[in-house]
């Protein structure tokens, strides 16, 4: 079961960028930790970061071909502006969880609106980079439950 982590603009600078808001862990360090947690949960973690809105839209579209079962996405600044990202998530219908490292609701007004959250299962914010781990655990549980549901439905249809 593949879970794709997508990080948007400026998140390649994690560890250096405003550490008082975003913490001291680098993106490489974060991805390494998430890969280990994914292994322990029996799922496969894939990683993608881009500063370009179009590249993120392309990567989301590709999930229809590469068997990604779930998406954990921090769209960063595009959260607040991108109809294209929202439409991409809605188009592929791959379940997604939105993550923000900082508590966007306790910051400037323009960060309170998320265009992408309404097409996600839910949003985790304000828990630092740990939020990605909680999103991974939640997504793995959600996907496993979906598989079990399908199996139960299949058994019902056989009877």
Choose one: 31-39, 53-61, 101-109, 132-140; the region binding ligand DQA (CB under 6 A): 101-109
Q: Is 82 in the site for ligand DQA (CB under 6 A)?
A: no
Q: Is 76 in the site for ligand DQA (CB under 6 A)?
A: yes
Instruction: Please state, in angstroms and rounded to a whole number, the distance separating the CA atoms of residues 31 and 55.
Output: 19
Is 105 in the active site? no
Q: Nearest-CA neighbor of 97 among 64, 133, 65, 151? A: 133
Q: Nearest-CA neighbor of 42 among 147, 127, 121, 125? A: 147
Q: Which of 22, 80, 105, 142 is catalytic?
A: 22
Looking at beta carbons only, is 69 or 139 nearer to ligand DQA?
Answer: 139
Looking at beta carbons only, is 25 or 69 nearer to ligand DQA?
Answer: 25
CB-based burial, 80-95: b 16+ in 10 Å, e otherwise: bebeebbebbeebebb
Q: Is 85 in the site for ligand DQA (CB under 6 A)?
A: no
Please tell me the count of residues contacting ligand DQA according to CB under 6 A: 10
Q: Is 77 in the site for ligand DQA (CB under 6 A)?
A: yes
Q: Is 50 in the site for ligand DQA (CB under 6 A)?
A: no
- The tokens describing 66, both together, are 């590469």
**DSSP element (H, E) containing 124:** strand 122-125
Catalytic residues: 22, 100
């Amino acid at each position: 079961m593949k879970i794709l982590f997508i990080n948007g603009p400026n998140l390649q600078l994690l560890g250096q960028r405003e550490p008082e808001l975003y913490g001291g862990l680098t993106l490489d360090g974060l991805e390494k930790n998430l890969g280990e947690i994914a292994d322990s949960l029996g799922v496969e973690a894939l990683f993608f970061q881009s500063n370009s809105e179009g590249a993120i839209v392309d990567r989301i579209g590709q999930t229809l071909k590469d068997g990604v079962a779930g998406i954990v996405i921090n769209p960063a600044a595009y959260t607040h502006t991108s109809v294209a990202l929202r439409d991409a998530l809605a188009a592929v219908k791959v379940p997604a969880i939105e993550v923000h490292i900082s508590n966007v609701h306790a910051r400037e007004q323009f960060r309170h609106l998320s265009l992408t959250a309404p097409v996600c299962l839910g949003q985790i914010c304000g828990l630092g980079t740990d939020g990605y781990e909680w999103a991974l655990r939640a997504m793995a549980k959600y996907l496993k439950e979906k598989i079990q549901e399908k199996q139960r439905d299949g058994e019902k249809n056989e009877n």
